[in-house]
Amino acid sequence: MSAIVPGKSTGPQLPARYTNLDSAHSAHGSRIHAFGPALMQGDPLADALVEYFASRPLGGGRKQLEQALDHGIESVRNPHPTLAALFAQLDHVPLWVDFEQLDLGGSVYLRLGPLGQLALGCAALPLAYGSPAGVVPLVFTGRLTQRAFRRLIETTQFVFLTCKPGGLRRQGEGFKTTVRVRLMHAQIRRLLRQSPKWDAQAWGVPIPQADLAGTSLSFSVVVLESLRRLGCSFSARESEAVMHLWRYSGYLIGLEPQLACATEAEAMRMGDLIAMTQGPPNADCVALTQALMNVTMHMAQTPAQRKAAQQWCKFLNGLTRYFIGAERADALQLPNTRLRFALYPMRLTVMFFEVLRRVIPGVNALAVRVGAKTWSKSIEIGLAGVKVSYELPEHPAARSTP
């Protein structure tokens, strides 16, 4: 029996999803008390705004939001206090934000091209899906596995827009998309709170601050670490820039400043705390991860394509196992395929190109251009002409570093 019981360890009642606290306390000390309340906290500014929007006629809230996003809050006639308050926070650029550093972080992501997408799909998302409480909002959709492909593409699009040069500047598409996703999170929170099936004692607040923090780690330190294991190398300045990019993205998406990690070391610590306290994966986690691994089957049309897709799925399984470790892979029931051995020549190839990129002038810039095109092309193929609506974009509630 745990000596540290949710609800007794700190002031507010903590949800049952916050587990294994004795071990976590041994490793992280009083940090677990500081982190616990983040499971009970949503995003007050966005939550208040969606409450107001719910009272508006259909389409009215969206119209005001887009008006404020495209033309500034000052262009909205008599803005409601909740809208004004949210945009006051969004329009305020914290002192620590360095837009050049944001662009550098974005360019690091872009140059990685398909490797970055592999890191997202085979490390960031599987780790996110390993959290039984974190996947509950997805379970509530009732189409846990059917939307896997769509979620992956929309997540890819979200990351791409964030990383484009100037993406998080006020008029950047990354900025606007991030705000939309923030309000979508708030709306999901609102819908789930209205469901009698939402068990607040077990799961806390839907999409809490803790999960937003996990998301930020997924896109930053998880991707960096995974790609290092694949042979990529990052200078200290580059990795710092990636952390900076996702720290500001976190600010825009409503993450409380005390949960936004500025350095990889901080992020690793928080990731470990999250991993220790989230509990083992359940059947939903397994279903969600396996649906993710099989997304390429979705695109296969002919028998030959299906056969190739099957091989690709095996490779993805192997890569995921490599990224997240055998223990987590087993818990998510990922098969241990022989195609994992393809990773070694792949790693060597990546390392070779990394050397070329560093020593030959102009190759880095070329890599950024080619990588950006790859991201763009993947999204275009994935969406197949369908406009992104951000119906339920994946903002993975990742909890851990590999």
Partner 1 sequence: MKPELLALLTDEDWRLMSERATRRTFEKDGVALQEGTESRNLFFLQSGYVQVVRNFHGLRLTVTRLGPGEVFGEMSFLERAPAMASIIADGPAQVLILPEQEIESLLRSVPGLASRLYQSLAVTLSRRLRRIGDTGDESIGSTRTARTGFATERQLPPGLAQAVDGIKQGLQQIERQLRSHGLALEQAAAGVAGACDQICATLERFTRDDVVVDAGMADLLSFRDTGAVRAGIGAYIFRETFSVLMTSALVSRTFAMPRGFPDDWESIAAIHASEPAGDGQLGPLVDRWFLQRPLCRARRASAAAVGSLLSSLLGDGPAAVTCLAAGSCHEILELLGGTQGDGVTATCVDLDQGALLAAAERAEDLGLSDRISFQLGNVVPADNGEQLLLPPQRAIFAVGLLEYLGDEAALRLLDWTHRQLQPGGTAIFTNLAEGNTDALFMEYLLERKVRHRSAEALSELFRRSSFGGATVTAEAGGADLLALATRA
The reply to whether 375 sits near partner 1 by the rule CB under 8 A is no
User: What are the CA-CA distances from residue 389 to residues 172, 260, 383 (Å)?
Assistant: 17, 27, 11
Angstrom distance (rounded) from CA 266 to CA 271: 9
Least distance CB 177 / partner 1 (angstroms): 11
Using CB under 8 A as the binding criterion, the count of chain residues that bind partner 1 stands at: 30
Coil, helix or strand for 249? helix
User: What are the CA-CA distances from residue 363 to residues 95, 223, 311, 347, 359 (Å)?
Assistant: 33, 22, 31, 19, 8
Helix axes 173-194, 148-163, angle to 10 degrees: 140
The reply to whether 194 sits near partner 1 by the rule CB under 8 A is yes
Least distance CB 271 / partner 1 (angstroms): 28
The reply to whether 385 sits near partner 1 by the rule CB under 8 A is no
Q: Is 302 exposed, middle or buried, given 0-12, 13-18 or 19+ CB atoms closer than 10 A?
A: exposed
Closest to 42 in 3D by CA, of 279, 255, 273: 255
Angstrom distance (rounded) from CA 134 to CA 284: 10
Least distance CB 393 / partner 1 (angstroms): 9
The number of angstroms, rounded, from the C-alpha of 107 to the middle of its chain's C-alpha atoms is 18
Mask for 27-66, x = binds partner 1 (CB under 8 A)? -----------------------x--xx-xxxx-xx--x-
Angstrom distance (rounded) from CA 207 to CA 205: 6
Least distance CB 51 / partner 1 (angstroms): 9
The reply to whether 190 sits near partner 1 by the rule CB under 8 A is yes
Residue with tokens 């609506």: 389
The reply to whether 183 sits near partner 1 by the rule CB under 8 A is yes
For residue 332, give both structure tokens.
Answer: 């998510």
Mask for 140-169, x = binds partner 1 (CB under 8 A)? xxxx--------------------------
| Binding window for partner 1 (CB under 8 A); candidates: 24-32, 74-82, 195-203, 328-336 | 195-203
The reply to whether 339 sits near partner 1 by the rule CB under 8 A is no
Closest to 47 in 3D by CA, of 141, 185, 177: 185
| Binding window for partner 1 (CB under 8 A); candidates: 37-45, 110-118, 177-185, 300-308 | 177-185
Which of residues 54 and 351 has its CB atom nearest to partner 1 in the complex?
Answer: 54
* Residues between 60 and 79 that touch partner 1 (CB under 8 A): 61-62, 65
Q: Which residues bind partner 1 (CB under 8 A)?
A: 50, 53-54, 56-59, 61-62, 65, 140-143, 180, 183-184, 187-188, 190-192, 194-197, 389-392
